[in-house]
Structure 1
Amino acid sequence: MDYRYLGRSGLKISEITYGNWLTHGSQVENDVASACVRAALDAGITTFDTADAYANGKAEEVLGAALAGERRESLEIFTKVYWPVGPKGPNDAGLSRKHIMEGINNSLRRLNMGYVDLYQAHRFDHETPLEETIAAFADVIRQGKALYIGVSEWNAEQMRRGQALAREAGFSLVSNQPQYNALWRVIESEVIPAAKELGMSQVVWSPMAQGVLSGKYLPGAPLPEGSRATDAHGGANMISRYLDDDILSNVAKLRPIADELGLSMAQLAIAWVLANENVATALVGASRPEQVAENVKAAGVAIPAELMERIDQALAPSIIRDPTLTVSPGSRP
């Protein structure tokens, strides 16, 4: 495993981060989830990402239990706040001072930890003054409940405004967590340049385009039984945008490139994301321990420039680049 700095900070994180969005607390049993976490640790992964809204808090509980007994100082734990949790009352979502303060306390209780390394604004809250949000995050840091603050799916203007206020408050935003992969490149034209300017790096989710870039979905073929695309509660709505025969045909053109590098298509997809210098880590999940062992083989892989160009050529008709697609809900969900 290789390690990279998170933004313009001194914190190093593993190039591959284990994430438990669609698995822990919902799709897989707790003992399997624990086995996946153990496989991640065995592979050298030290960074783990979750959120309070994942399975309405259960994902944090499962991750905390799976990591119990590990040396806390040897781990980097990320969680997030914004989406509805609990009974989903009027203050159970967003980035108000009330929700942030209650959110961090509840996350630490579920994780059974004294602090998290990175606390992230899971989206931009249009209903709360940004000054209130940043002041609350500053207090979370001063209280020692989080060491660093990041955001997720903020656009370039929101990141600039947030960073300016954060620096006035005595800290810096160090990261953004966007969807990014060889098909979904909406952050390239505006978000990544802004992040470089602001000293922030990307913590990427969906590096395999919800599994499409793994090559398991074939044009004209039935959806694989038990796959994410067939699970209404496990991300079927997210993957549907990619399940077009033209897109799948273009993805299939990547197989010879993966073969040439001695990689699986899933490993190629992760290595492609890590080739962007502004990416600190790629989030991968797993429903089986062996998936973790395979995915980590993408760490440290260098893809030659000519093969990067061939990837672009193969996917060109299917690549989505519109920067306006980096968007947060206009009102709290």
Structure 2
Amino acid sequence: MDFRYLGASGLKISEITYGNWLTHGSQVENDAAIACVRAALDDGISTFDTADVYANTKAETVLGQALKGQRRESLEILTKVFGPTGPKGHNDTGLSRKHITESINGSLRRLGTDYVDLYQAHRFDYETPLEETFQTFADLVRQGKVLYVGVSEWTADQLRAGHALAKELGIQLISNQPQYSMLWRVIEGEVVPTSRELGISQVVWSPIAQGVLTGKYVPGGELPAGSRATDEKGGASMIKRFMDDDVLTRVQALKPIAKELGLSMAQLAIAWVLANDNVATAIIGASRPEQVHDNVRAAGVRLNAETLGRIDDVLGGVVERDPAKTLESSPKTREV
């Protein structure tokens, strides 16, 4: 496993992060989830990403159980706050001082730790003053409950405003967690250049485009049993945007490139996001340990310019690049 610095900080994290967004506490039984975490540890992954909103707090509980007994100092545990949790009352969402304070205490209890290495604002909150949010983050850093602060799916302008406030308050905003893959490149035009300037790294989710870039979905073919595209608990709706025959046909055309390099399709997709020097880590998820073992082999793979150009030629116009998609990711009003 290779390691990279997270933003302009001294914190190193593994190039591959294990995340439990659509699996732990919902799609995968606890024993299987714990087996995947153990596989990640065996493969040298030290960084684990979750969120209180995943499976309405259950995912954090499962991750905490899976990491129990590990040396805490050897791990980097990342979680997030924003989405509705608990009974989803009127203060059970957003980035208010009340919700953040209550959420971090719940997250620490479920994860079985005294602190998290990175606490992330899961989306931008239009209904809470940014000053309130960052003052609360600064207080948590000073209390020792949070070491570093990050955000997720923030625009370039939002990153700039948050970074300025963090600096004023004497804390570090060091990361952004966006969706990023060969097919979804909306951060490249504005978010990445701004992040490079500010010393912010990308912690990217869905590098395999919810499984589409594995090549297992064939245009016009039947959906594989048990795949993300057949999951009615949330997976199918997330993957729908990529289930287009033109997209799937072009993805199939990537197979010869992967074969020439001796990589699986998943490894090629993960290595592609890691080729961006602003990306600190790629988050992988898994429902089986074998998936972890396969994906982790992308660590240390370096794709040359010729390979990157061939991938661009194959995918052509199906790649989504519109920076406005990031703006669309944060709700303008709270869900509850």
- Is residue 203 of structure 2 the alignment partner of residue 221 of structure 1? no
SS at match of 2:233: coil
SS at match of 2:148: strand
What's the counterpart of residue 55 of structure 1?
Answer: 55
SS at match of 1:17: strand
TM-score, length-normalised on structure 2?
Answer: 0.98
What's the counterpart of residue 124 of structure 1?
Answer: 124
- Is residue 141 of structure 2 the alignment partner of residue 163 of structure 1? no
SS at match of 1:300: coil
Paired residues for 1:89-100 under 5 Å: 89-100=89-100
Q: Please give the alpha-carbon distance, in whole angstroms, between the structure 1 residues aligned to 2:70 and 2:245.
A: 45
In structure 2, stretches of 5+ residues that fail to align are none
Paired residues for 1:210-249 under 5 Å: 210-249=210-249
What's the CA shift for 1:332?
1.1
What's the CA shift for 1:234?
4.1
Q: Please give the alpha-carbon distance, in whole angstroms, between the structure 1 residues aligned to 2:214 and 2:262.
A: 14
What's the counterpart of residue 146 of structure 1?
Answer: 146
Q: Please give the alpha-carbon distance, in whole angstroms, between the structure 2 residues aligned to 1:263 and 1:183.
A: 18
What's the CA shift for 1:60?
0.3
Q: Please give the alpha-carbon distance, in whole angstroms, between the structure 2 residues aligned to 1:82 and 1:232.
A: 24
- Is residue 196 of structure 2 the alignment partner of residue 196 of structure 1? yes
What's the counterpart of residue 329 of structure 1?
Answer: 331
Which AA in structure 1 matches 2:290?
E
SS at match of 1:326: helix
Contact kept in structure 2, 1:207 and 1:282, CA below 8 Å: yes
What's the counterpart of residue 12 of structure 2?
Answer: 12
Paired residues for 1:93-108 under 5 Å: 93-108=93-108
What's the CA shift for 1:243?
0.3
Contact kept in structure 2, 1:8 and 1:199, CA below 8 Å: yes
Which AA in structure 2 matches 1:264?
S
Q: Please give the alpha-carbon distance, in whole angstroms, between the structure 2 residues aligned to 1:157 and 1:274.
A: 24
SS at match of 2:48: strand
Contact kept in structure 2, 1:80 and 1:121, CA below 8 Å: yes
Q: How many residues align?
A: 333
Find runs of 4+ consecutive structure 1 residues off by over 6 angstroms.
none
Provide Cα deviations, 1:220-252, integer angstroms capped at 9, x if missing partner.
Answer: 101111100000114110100000000000111
What's the counterpart of residue 133 of structure 1?
Answer: 133
In structure 1, stretches of 5+ residues that fail to align are none
What's the counterpart of residue 2 of structure 2?
Answer: 2
Q: Please give the alpha-carbon distance, in whole angstroms, between the structure 1 residues aligned to 2:30 and 2:246.
A: 38
Which AA in structure 2 matches 1:261?
L
Q: Please give the alpha-carbon distance, in whole angstroms, between the structure 2 residues aligned to 1:146 and 1:31.
A: 29
What's the counterpart of residue 209 of structure 1?
Answer: 209
Paired residues for 1:34-49 under 5 Å: 34-49=34-49
Q: Please give the alpha-carbon distance, in whole angstroms, between the structure 2 residues aligned to 1:212 and 1:44.
A: 26
Q: Please give the alpha-carbon distance, in whole angstroms, between the structure 2 residues aligned to 1:234 and 1:29.
A: 16
What's the CA shift for 1:172?
1.7
Which AA in structure 1 matches 2:152?
S
Which AA in structure 1 matches 2:250?
N
Provide Cα deviations, 1:294-323, integer angstroms capped at 9, x if missing partner.
Answer: 000000001121111000000012000000
What's the counterpart of residue 284 of structure 1?
Answer: 284
SS at match of 1:280: strand
Paired residues for 1:20-35 under 5 Å: 20-35=20-35
Identity between Structure 1 and Structure 2 (%) = 72
> What is the CA RMSD across the aligned residues, in angstroms?
0.5
Q: Please give the alpha-carbon distance, in whole angstroms, between the structure 2 residues aligned to 1:151 and 1:195.
A: 12
Q: Please give the alpha-carbon distance, in whole angstroms, between the structure 2 residues aligned to 1:109 and 1:232.
A: 30
Contact kept in structure 2, 1:219 and 1:249, CA below 8 Å: yes
Q: Please give the alpha-carbon distance, in whole angstroms, between the structure 1 residues aligned to 2:66 and 2:302.
A: 32
SS at match of 1:303: coil
